[in-house]
Structures are given as C-alpha cells and as structure tokens.
C-alpha cells in the first residue's frame, strides 16, 4: 500500500470517528439546576466519594479532564477556571450547555433508577433529554428499584402491627405476582428497551445456577418483620442474596418466555464502582452459570467490567447472548488505561459484540468528556492496528460504526437511521443501518445486473447545472476493496462557476474538494451500462463544505429532526420538447417549437404524438425499472409541453430522484433527436415550466394545525427571500404572472388555489408553486424547509387568511382582511436584496453559502444582460 493510500486510510478513519453519531446505551439522569451546586463536581472523573474524592485532584483522569474542559470552555486550564466557566454556562443557559455537552449523541438509554442518597438532590426525568438529542430517550428499568418499591408497598403499615406466618406468605406471593406483571407490562412498552440489575453492588455476581425460592421466602420474611411503611424503617434497598437472586432469575425467565423473536436485554453492572461495591465479587466471570441458564436472553456486561475487561471479552466471544460494554472508563481512567482496556476487549471479543456508553450521570460534563475521550481512544488504537496491518482502514472504520451505533441499534431494536455528523455535530446524511460498507452496498446493488462500465457521481452547482464525473466501475471497486474509501478530486472553483464555465470574481482555480459518492443513492442509468450516485463535497480532511448544496439540505433535515419534524416531498417535472434547428454546420444550434397538432392542457390527442412514444413513455418505463414509479403524466398547455408527477420520498431522496428523472427523460429526448428544456417561460404567450414541490409533514401530529401552520407561516414570512433560490434566474420572473395558474405574484395561500404560491391540498400536504426547473433543487428545498423551520422555532402564527379566489382580484379591504398585502419580488435582483435583508434565513442557511450564491447570481445577471432577448432564450434552452 502506498504512503498516499495510508494517508487516505487515516483520513477515512478519522472522518468516521468524528462523524459517526453515538447511541449511548447506558446513562442516567442529570441534576436539575438548583441541585447542581450542592453536589461535588469533582465526581465527574472518579467513583470516589466522601473524604476520598478530594485526592482525585491529583489523578491523571482529573488532570486530563481539566485540559479538555478548558479547551471547550475557552478558559485557563486550571480546575478553578473550569469550575467558574461551567457555573457561568449554567447560569446563562443551562439547557444550551447540556445540549452542547450531548453533541454527537443520537439518543440515550436512561437508567433512571439511580438516585442520590440525599433527597435534597433533584434529577430531571429521563425524557428531559428528548429536546436535547435528535432521537427521544428511552428507559432502562432497574430491577432492584422496582422490586424495592413493590416490596415496601406490601410491608405492614405502621398502624397495622405484625402479621402471622400466613400473612407473610400471602404478601410474598402478592409481591412476586406484582413483580411479574410489572416486567410483563415493561416488555410491552416501546419506551422501555432494557432492564438493569445492580446485584453486583448488593450481593455480588456469583448468582446461583437455579433460583432458590426457599431462600427468597426467608429473606422476605425477615424484611416483612423488620420494615414498616411510612416510618424510618421503610424498605428501600434490596441487598438480600436469596431474594435478589430469585428476582434476577424471575426477570430472565419472563424475558426468555416472552413472545416474539426480539428479547429485551438485561444490563448488569460489572467491575468498578464506588466503595459500596465489593470488587472481588464484581467480575463478570461469576455470571457464567447464569448466562448458560438463559441462552436466549441478551446479557450486557456494563462498564468494561474494569479491571476484569478480558473476562468480559471472553464471555462475549463464547456466548451468543453476551455483549460487552466499554463505558464508564471514559472519563474515569487515564488515557493510557482507556487505550489498554480497549485493546484488551479486542483481544478476544468480536467487534459486533461491543457496545459503548457514557454512563453519564448527574453532570452533563460526564457526557461531554466521555464522548471526547472515546473518539480519541478509537483513533489511537485503531490507527495503530491499521498501520500494523492487523486490520484494514476500512475494517477500522467499520468497527467504529459498529461500536458507537450499529450494535446498540440492533440489540435494542431501535430502528434508527445512521446519519453522519458534520464537524459541528449536526447530522449530514443517511448510511446503511445494516452496517454494510460502501463496497458491500455497491456489490449488493450490482448483484444480478449486467455489470455496468461506469459509475456517475453527480453534483448540482450553484447555478443548478447538473455536473458529473464518470469513473470506470472496475476502478471504483478496486479502490473500495483496498480500503473502502472512494472519492474524486474536484477543483474548488466548481462552486464558483457560471454556466459557461467562467469563474466569478473572487474565486480561483486553486485548492481541491473531494467528491464523495453517497452509495445509498445508487440507481441504474440514465444511460445503458451506467449507474448513478449523488455526491457530497468534503474537504481533504473529511470535514463538510459549507458551499455544498446537498450537504446543506442534509443539515437542514437534521435540524428538522431535532424539532421532531420529518417530511415527504414529491416533485412535478414540467418540460417542453423542442426541435433542433441548425441551418448549416457553422451555425449555432437553435431550438424551435415542435409540430404541436393543436396541443392543449390534458388534450387526449397529444397522447398519440410520436414524441410521447419516443420520449415520455420509454423514460417512464425506464424509471419504473429503476424502482421510481411515476404517478401520472399529461400534456400541459404550451406546445410540446408535458407534466410528469414523481412519487414522494424523504426530502434528500426526492431531490436525488428529481435530478435523475430529468436526466433519464433528457437522454431519451436526445435519442429521439429533440431537446428537453426546463426553461421557465419558453414562449411569451403560453404557460411556463415549473417544478412544483408537494410537502407533507410525516412526523407524529404532522396533520394537526398546531404543527403545520407555524411551518407554512414561516415559509410565507420568508417567501420573498426564499424566491432568490426558487426563482433563481432572470427568466424565472417572466413566469411570475397573475391569473395564469402559476402561483401569482402575491404572498398568500389558499386551499386548492392554484393562483397562490402556497396551495393547501389537505392537512399538512401543501404545494409550493413558486419553484422552477432552473433552481438548484437542493438549495431551493433547503430554503423552503429552512423558512418553515424558522416558523416552528419562532412559533409563527398563520396570520394570512385562506384565500379562496385569485389574489389579483381582491379588493383593498379583502387584502387587509386576509393579510395579502405583500408582493413577491419582481426580479432576481430584488429577490437577492430580500435575501440579504433576511438575516435569520441567511444565518440558518450559512453566511458563506449565501454570500457565494449571491455573487454567482449577480455575475449571471450581468452576463445575461449582454444578450438580446432571443439569444438569452436560446442560451437557456441549450443549458436547461
């Protein structure tokens, strides 16, 4: 392997480590702000408590944490400075600080049975995390906590006096029955994904092979006769060996006998803990008999079982139902200790059996430090393994995805999509949740197909020109087999070009991006022996590129998911077919109207036109073969004009599908000797071409007005600025006319009203009509969704009334009543001015992108102004 390949492999691993989101499969609640100052912050890096905690100031784990926290907090690297800076963050905006500490975590499985011993400390409930991580938290039910509550409820009340032996026996039976019902109900609840036992703390892990009912009854008899409800003798702690082991067996038996293939796991605390634990009884090796007894019950050995890490790795390697967690040692161990533990778990344990957790608790900083340190340890250890050829760079990257996300996703049946993160911790794009590598994804896609010659990687530049690289497929497969890392270099000037390849002022042909194919977007075609993917621009180090339109849409979708919003989007393609005209070989290609035979909207005779059979029908058939089932098509009003309605998909897939479908149709038009054009106004006196987008909110409650009205109100509020992206060419504004079914000129909406830029269809299904085919669809949809998200964020009221008529016909009084008083921009220049003034939308989309986009559009306007009206028309027809 060449040195350049090694560097590429290292960059791949580093990128994977930094951009893989984390399923934190074991953590605890955090303290509410009023309780935070009363609990020792020193506990974030140590299990010590009481007087022993003060010595942690000289531990390697503490000293490292100080440096890392100081870097995040931008303060001096001293404990005093860190404490002061954290206090300032808490006072300024506690929730925001918690959110920052949780960056990179997709979801948290919360054991909310851990409570401080002192009642003065109050914790947030487990669902507090819901607004702070992309996917709502779920619960891990702690056996000893629910058992203690049930037992206490069946102990005698203070006023009742003592009971007979028969009363004790009856109470025991009632406790067991209630315990069983509680477990069965928990198994049926989707918000409870696992169970947890801390028997390690109480009586040790040497659980008997079989349950001992007699020992359990004897323990219960003692509890019943010495505890009373409502007194200082309430029962709060299960630390009775016979009863504790009996209930752990009971839990495992219920899980094993539960219906369904998926069994909810039992997590066991193993290894290190505070001084309440007897360490010699904490080795997971003591669990071996218990593990054998319940072979279908998933068992998770928590906390790296430290210092018994090798024992955990052994058990996970030889028992199909055992999984090894490597949490809590981050940040409680030194850096060298963490790396050693990681090496030890990998000595025997398959990485498909390893999970990771923060064991975050009480303080948000415990989450922050754990995430920082696991990423460091993975980079150090796996990079060393790859350089020594113990594993390939691809395998190292796959290990990261498995340990941080995929294994927990599978074990707990979470069903979450794996979405890469950008360098700010925001989601970027979906990956295969089965854990398949890019090579495996490509090979699976090609299976059973005639092997194509080329892989096309498309991008859509800031002028909406579809551009590509075509790479021989054998080259792609060869690179992927070497280290599962394939990308192509593209000049940075590619996002500063006009349609005629002129670089705008301020941009130079220096530097290079890497164009990474998203193999989840694979589709056959558009030409025979070609397959297509859509690419994302990355810097050389793997970080995201703010100017990349596709990455922008992915970032906006992640923001939507944080607001618990998901969407389906379906596009319409309106196009015109033109005859190609060239008077002689030296003349410029021009385009003329086809023989239209009285073409009109939905007129039936046009379905028999030769071009329907030569272009439209074979294109739709080809799309169907590729899994894209067109919903319908019909002739539109202009000569040679047709509309094709695509199916709805999640937004990113919808845009990829739109671009691919246009390419397929264009290909068949070329074969037929005609030109397909998306020109927004190809004929001055007939209908123009749009690219209407149908949007539905598909997340829970999406069809409730309180959900969708703020979203569409946000779009209306920011619509003049949004038009800079949706009506992105001077020619777009030739189509901006009243009373032509084109959406009109007024900022308005109406139910089933095609004369408003937003048409409400039903519920949250609305059509955005003010988009045409010259818009970059990634940017256009980003602007639309971004405006909607701002509406949700700002709790925007839908102050515009439902306009039931053509807004152009409204009286002044009607306009005032419906709040239809603002016009859309009449030109691209005005739209760009609106974008410049809309600071909220510009900040959301990214100042760098908005600035570059405006510069390109201003250069485009200047160039087109040098052409005559007909030359401009022909120039656009040739390119769109």
How many other C-beta atoms lie within 10 A of the C-beta of residue 164? Answer: 8
Question: Is 430's pLDDT higher than 80?
Answer: no
| CATH number of this structure's domain 430-550 | 3.10.20.70
pLDDT bucket at 432, cuts 50 / 70 / 90: very low
Least confident of 295-299, 524-528, 817-821: 524-528
Strand partners for 458: 468, 534
For residue 347, with 0-12 CB atoms within 10 Å meaning exposed, 13-18 middle and 19 or more buried, which class applies?
exposed
Count, in order, helices (H) and strands (E) of the chain: 28, 24
**What pTM was computed for the model?**
0.63
When the pLDDT of each residue in the chain is averaged and rounded to a whole number, the result is: 89
Residues 127 and 137 sit within 8 Å (Cβ to Cβ): yes
Rounded CA-CA distance 859/489 in Å is 26
| Cα distances (angstroms) measured from residue 675 to each of 208, 458, 577, 578 | 79, 21, 6, 5
Q: What is the mean pLDDT of residues 244-253?
A: 97
Question: Is 382's pLDDT higher than 70?
Answer: yes
Q: Among 753, 733, 767, 749, which Cα is nearest to 805's?
A: 753
Strands (E), 234-274: 266-268
Question: Is 127's pLDDT higher than 80?
Answer: yes
Rounded CA-CA distance 454/531 in Å is 7
Q: What is the mean pLDDT of residues 321-347?
A: 96
Q: What is the pLDDT of residues 678-702, one digit of tens each?
A: 998 888 778 888 899 999 998 878 8
What is the percent of the chain with per-residue pLDDT over 90, rounded to a whole number? 60
For residue 822, with 0-12 CB atoms within 10 Å meaning exposed, 13-18 middle and 19 or more buried, which class applies?
middle
DSSP strand pairing (454-460 vs 530-538): parallel
Q: Among 474, 672, 690, 434, which Cα is nearest to 573's?
A: 690
Q: What is the mean pLDDT of residues 440-449?
A: 81
Q: Which residues contact 331 (CB under 8 A, 6 or more apart)?
A: 44, 45, 61, 64, 65, 366, 369, 370, 373
Question: Is 533's pLDDT higher than 70?
Answer: yes
Rounded CA-CA distance 359/333 in Å is 13
Residues 297 and 256 sit within 8 Å (Cβ to Cβ): yes
What is the percent of the chain with per-residue pLDDT over 70, rounded to a whole number? 94
pLDDT bucket at 431, cuts 50 / 70 / 90: very low
Q: What is the mean pLDDT of residues 460-479?
A: 91
Tokens 């909110």 map to which residue? 697
Instruction: Give me the half-sphere count of Cα atoms (radius 13 Å) on the Cβ side of residue 478.
Output: 7
534 vs 431, residue with greater confidence: 534
Q: Helix (H, G, I), strand (E, B), or coil: what is residue 206?
A: coil
Question: Is 562's pLDDT higher than 90?
Answer: no
Least confident of 122-126, 218-222, 257-261: 257-261
pLDDT value, residue 102: 95
Residues 37 and 84 sit within 8 Å (Cβ to Cβ): no
Alpha helices in 161-308 (DSSP H): 165-188, 199-202, 213-226, 241-257, 288-293
Tokens 């752990």 map to which residue? 248
Rounded CA-CA distance 692/56 in Å is 62
Strands (E), 255-403: 266-268, 299-301, 322-325, 354-355
Rounded CA-CA distance 399/487 in Å is 21
Q: What is the pLDDT of residues 261-315, one digit of tens each?
A: 689 999 999 999 998 899 999 999 999 999 999 999 999 999 999 999 999 999 9
Rounded CA-CA distance 154/229 in Å is 8
pLDDT value, residue 874: 87
Residues 697 and 708 sit within 8 Å (Cβ to Cβ): yes
Give 861-875 as a DSSP string.
HHHHTTS-HHHHHHH
Q: Among 244, 112, 254, which Cα is nearest to 180's?
A: 254
pLDDT value, residue 558: 81
Q: What is the pLDDT of residues 65-116, one digit of tens each?
A: 999 999 999 999 999 999 999 999 999 899 999 999 999 999 999 999 987 7
Residues 459 and 550 sit within 8 Å (Cβ to Cβ): yes
Residues 61 and 46 sit within 8 Å (Cβ to Cβ): yes
pLDDT bucket at 434, cuts 50 / 70 / 90: very low
Q: What is the dihedral of CA 794, 799, 804, 810, to 10 degrees?
A: -130
Domain ranges for the chain, please list them: 430-550
Q: Which residues contact 584 (CB under 8 A, 6 or more apart)?
A: none
Residues 417 and 17 sit within 8 Å (Cβ to Cβ): no
Residues 129 and 102 sit within 8 Å (Cβ to Cβ): yes
Is it true that the peptide bond before 526 is cis, omega within 30 degrees of 0?
yes
Least confident of 126-135, 151-160, 202-211, 277-286: 151-160
pLDDT bucket at 429, cuts 50 / 70 / 90: very low
Q: What is the mean pLDDT of residues 590-607?
A: 75
Tokens 């306007």 map to which residue? 861
pLDDT value, residue 356: 97
Least confident of 1-5, 584-588, 672-676: 1-5
681 vs 160, residue with greater confidence: 681
Backbone angles phi and psi of 450, in degrees to 5: -60, 125
141, two tokens: 């039910």
Q: What is the pLDDT of residues 619-630, one digit of tens each?
A: 999 888 888 888
Question: Is 587's pLDDT higher than 80?
Answer: no
Determine the length of the chain.
Answer: 880
pLDDT bucket at 7, cuts 50 / 70 / 90: very low
**DSSP code of residue 759:** E
| Cα distances (angstroms) measured from residue 543 to each of 5, 309, 540, 560, 599 | 18, 34, 7, 21, 51
Least confident of 498-502, 504-508, 606-610, 818-822: 606-610
pLDDT value, residue 681: 87
Q: What is the pLDDT of residues 493-520, one digit of tens each?
A: 999 999 888 999 988 888 889 999 998 8
């Amino acid at each position: 392997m060449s040195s350049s390949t090694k560097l590429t492999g290292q960059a791949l691993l580093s990128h994977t480590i930094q951009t893989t989101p984390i399923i934190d499969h074991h953590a605890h609640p955090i303290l509410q702000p009023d309780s935070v100052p009363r609990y020792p912050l020193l506990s974030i890096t140590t299990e010590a408590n009481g007087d022993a905690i003060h010595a942690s100031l000289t531990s390697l784990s503490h000293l490292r944490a100080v440096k890392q926290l100081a870097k995040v907090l931008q303060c001096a690297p001293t404990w005093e400075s860190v404490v002061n800076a954290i206090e300032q963050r808490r006072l300024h905006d506690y929730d925001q600080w918690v959110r920052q500490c949780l960056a990179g975590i997709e979801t948290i499985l919360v054991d909310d049975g851990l409570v401080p011993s002192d009642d003065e400390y109050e914790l947030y409930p487990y669902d507090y995390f819901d607004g702070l991580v992309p996917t709502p938290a779920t619960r891990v039910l702690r056996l000893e906590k629910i058992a203690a509550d049930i037992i206490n409820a069946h102990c005698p009340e203070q006023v009742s006096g003592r009971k007979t032996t028969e009363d004790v026996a009856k109470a025991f039976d009632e406790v067991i029955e209630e315990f069983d019902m509680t477990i069965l109900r928990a198994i049926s609840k989707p918000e409870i994904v696992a169970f947890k036992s801390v028997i390690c703390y109480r009586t040790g892990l040497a659980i008997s092979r079989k349950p001992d009912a007699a020992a359990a009854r004897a323990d219960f008899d003692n509890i019943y006769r010495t505890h009373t409800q409502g007194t200082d003798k309430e029962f709060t702690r299960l630390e009775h060996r016979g009863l504790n082991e009996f209930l752990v067996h009971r839990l495992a038996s219920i899980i094993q006998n539960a219906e369904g293939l998926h069994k909810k796991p039992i997590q066991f605390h193993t290894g290190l803990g505070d001084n309440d634990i007897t360490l010699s009884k904490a080795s997971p090796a003591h669990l071996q008999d218990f593990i054998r007894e319940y072979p279908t019950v998933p068992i998770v050995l928590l906390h790296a079982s430290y210092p018994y890490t090798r024992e955990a790795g052994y058990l996970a390697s030889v028992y199909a139902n055992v999984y090894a967690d490597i949490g809590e040692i981050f940040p409680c161990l030194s850096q060298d200790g963490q790396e050693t533990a990681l090496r030890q778990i990998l000595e025997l344990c398959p990485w498909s059996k390893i999970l990771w957790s923060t064991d975050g608790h009480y303080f948000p900083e415990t989450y922050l430090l754990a995430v920082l340190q696991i990423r460091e340890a993975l980079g150090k250890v796996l990079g060393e393994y790859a350089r020594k050829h113990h594993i390939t760079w691809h395998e190292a990257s796959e290990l990261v995805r498995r340990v941080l996300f995929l294994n927990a996703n599978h074990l707990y049946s979470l069903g979450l999509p794996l979405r890469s993160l950008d360098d700010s911790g925001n989601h970027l794009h979906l990956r295969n949740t089965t854990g398949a590598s890019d090579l495996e994804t490509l090979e699976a896609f090609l299976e059973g197909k005639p092997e194509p010659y080329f892989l096309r990687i498309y991008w859509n530049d800031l002028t909406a020109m579809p551009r590509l690289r075509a790479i021989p497929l054998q080259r792609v497969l060869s690179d992927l087999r070497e280290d599962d890392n394939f990308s192509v270099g593209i000049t940075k000037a590619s996002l500063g070009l006009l349609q005629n390849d002129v670089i705008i002022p301020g941009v130079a042909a220096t530097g290079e991006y890497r164009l990474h194919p998203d193999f989840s977007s694979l589709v056959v075609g558009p030409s025979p022996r070609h397959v297509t993917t859509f690419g994302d621009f990355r810097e050389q180090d793997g970080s995201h590129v703010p100017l990349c339109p596709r990455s922008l849409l992915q970032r906006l979708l992640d923001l939507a998911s944080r607001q618990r919003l998901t969407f389906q989007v379906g596009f319409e393609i309106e196009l015109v077919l033109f005859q190609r005209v060239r008077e002689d070989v030296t003349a410029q290609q021009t385009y003329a109207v086809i023989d239209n035979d009285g073409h009109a909207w939905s007129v039936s005779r046009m379905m028999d036109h030769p071009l329907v059979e030569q272009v439209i029908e074979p294109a739709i058939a080809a799309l169907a073969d590729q899994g894209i089932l067109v919903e319908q098509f019909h002739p539109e009003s202009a000569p040679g004009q047709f509309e094709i309605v695509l199916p709805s998909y999640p937004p990113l897939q919808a845009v990829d599908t739109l671009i691919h479908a246009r390419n397929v149709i264009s290909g068949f038009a070329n074969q037929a000797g005609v030109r397909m054009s998306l020109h927004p106004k190809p004929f001055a006196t007939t209908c123009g071409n749009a690219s209407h987008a149908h949007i539905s909110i598909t997340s829970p409650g999406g069809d409730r007005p309180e959900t969708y009205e703020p979203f569409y109100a946000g779009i209306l509020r920011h619509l003049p600025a949004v038009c800079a992206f949706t009506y992105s060419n001077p020619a777009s504004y030739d189509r901006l006319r009243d009373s032509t079914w084109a959406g009109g000129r007024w900022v308005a909406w109406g139910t089933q009203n095609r004369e408003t830029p937003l048409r409400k269809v039903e519920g949250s299904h609305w059509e955005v009509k003010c988009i045409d085919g010259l818009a970059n669809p990634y940017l256009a949809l980003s602007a639309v969704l971004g405006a909607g998200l701002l509406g949700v964020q700002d709790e925007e009221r839908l102050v515009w009334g439902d306009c039931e008529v053509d807004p152009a016909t409204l009286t002044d009084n009607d306009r005032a009543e419906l709040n239809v008083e603002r016009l859309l921009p009449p030109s691209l220049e005005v739209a760009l001015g609106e974008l410049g003034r809309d600071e909220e939308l510009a900040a959301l989309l990214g100042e760098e992108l908005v600035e570059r986009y405006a510069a390109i559009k201003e250069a485009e306007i200047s160039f087109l102004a040098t052409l005559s009206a007909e030359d401009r028309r022909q120039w656009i027809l040739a390119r769109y």
